[in-house]
């Protein structure tokens, strides 16, 4: 069965409450009825509830940018799965390279978060991808295999099928330098092979793999035409209604 495309906007640390409300309203008007592609927005924690109320009743789903794996307690600054659920979150981004680079995210914490998210009946979007130095050193496959195997360790096939993987080459994030279609498809195909080795063909065929890294209206067509690219995780271009719409529409 063909995998349904999935476009998610990662707003990162952008939008005050008023800005988030305005963006969400614009998105509901522009693409709130689109159903042939799955669409989600991932605002900062402070704007989840407000954005959730605005997109309610539309086809756009709510996502968060991170979560803590513990259920509750003395973890100052952290947010639990139950808290995210209580404001209407469906998807949770885990292991974004900015978390890995700046906030000590490891394959082990990605795995703990993925398990917590699945146990709460939420949907993880698990980010993987190599740095420029790793790519130049020919280590893309080593890094991607380690990250994918680490993220899915101990997760059942049924739960794995509820996950999305986002392949985000770190050198393409926010740089304007997009992976060529060939680079993207090769990486996605390699990730699918890793899924085969962890699970089986059915899991590899079922799990969606988004591309992320400077995806824009002018390059989206080529990327989404690739056999193994099942959507996008969008940063900068998710912050303007017309840009985000320009990515969803060609799907
Ligand atoms: P950009 O689209 O701004 O490159 O960001 C991609 C990203 O990191 C999405 O999670």
Average pLDDT over residues 163-186: 93
Kindly indicate the confidence band of residue 1, based on its pLDDT and cuts at 50, 70 and 90.
Answer: low
Q: What is the pLDDT of residues 211-225, one digit of tens each?
A: 999 999 999 999 999
pLDDT of 251: 74
Q: Mean pLDDT in the chain?
A: 96
Whether 19 is catalytic is: no
What backbone phi and psi angles, to 5 degrees, belong to 124?
A: -75, 145
Minimum-distance ligand 1 atom for the alpha carbon of 175: 4
Average pLDDT over residues 93-116: 97
Q: What is the pLDDT of residues 21-45, one digit of tens each?
A: 999 999 999 999 999 999 999 999 9
Of the candidates 68, 96, 105, 188, the residue annotated as catalytic is 96
Centre of ligand 1 to C-alpha 204, Å, is: 24
Whether the predicted pLDDT of 227 surpasses 70: yes
Minimum-distance ligand 1 atom for the alpha carbon of 176: 4
Centre of ligand 1 to C-alpha 202, Å, is: 29
Average pLDDT over residues 186-201: 97
Alpha carbons 110 and 7: distance in angstroms, whole number: 21
Q: How many residues does the chain have?
A: 251
What is the residue with the minimal CA distance to atom 2 of ligand 1? 235
Pocket of ligand 1 (CB under 6 A): 10, 96, 168, 173-174, 212-215, 233-237
Whether the predicted pLDDT of 118 surpasses 90: yes
pLDDT of 222: 94
Average pLDDT over residues 87-92: 98
Whether 96 is catalytic is: yes
CATH number of this structure's domain 6-248: 3.20.20.70
Q: What is the pLDDT of residues 123-174, one digit of tens each?
A: 999 999 999 999 999 999 999 999 999 999 999 999 999 999 999 999 999 8
Q: Is the pTM of this model over 0.85?
A: yes
Task: Provide the residue ranges of all domains of the chain, joining segments of one domain with +.
Answer: 6-248
Q: Percent of the chain, pLDDT > 90?
A: 95
Of the candidates 98, 105, 130, 168, the residue annotated as catalytic is 168
Centre of ligand 1 to C-alpha 5, Å, is: 17
Minimum-distance ligand 1 atom for the alpha carbon of 98: 8
């Amino acid at each position: 069965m063909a995998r349904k495309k999935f476009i998610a906007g990662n707003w990162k640390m952008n939008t005050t409450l008023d800005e988030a409300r305005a963006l969400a309203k614009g998105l509901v008007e522009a693409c709130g009825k689109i159903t042939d592609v799955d669409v989600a927005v991932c605002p900062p924690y402070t704007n989840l509830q407000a954005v959730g109320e605005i997109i309610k009743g539309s086809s756009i789903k709510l996502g968060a940018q991170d979560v803590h794996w513990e259920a509750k307690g003395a973890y100052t600054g952290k947010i639990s799965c139950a808290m995210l659920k209580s404001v209407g979150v469906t998807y949770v981004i885990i292991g974004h390279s900015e978390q890995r680079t700046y906030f000590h995210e490891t394959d082990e914490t990605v795995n703990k978060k993925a398990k917590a998210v699945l146990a709460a009946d939420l949907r993880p979007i698990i980010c993987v991808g190599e740095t420029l130095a790793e790519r130049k050193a020919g280590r893309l496959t080593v890094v991607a295999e380690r990250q994918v195997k680490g993220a899915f360790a101990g997760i059942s096939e049924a739960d794995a099928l509820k996950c999305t993987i986002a392949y985000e080459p770190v050198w393409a994030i926010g740089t304007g330098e997009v992976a060529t279609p060939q680079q993207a498809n090769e990486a996605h195909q390699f990730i699918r092979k890793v899924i085969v080795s962890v699970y089986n063909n059915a899991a590899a065929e079922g799990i969606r793999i988004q591309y992320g890294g400077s995806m824009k209206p002018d390059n989206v067509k080529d990327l989404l035409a690739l056999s193994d690219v099942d959507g996008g995780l969008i940063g900068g271009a998710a912050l303007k209604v017309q840009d985000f719409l320009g990515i969803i529409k060609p799907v």
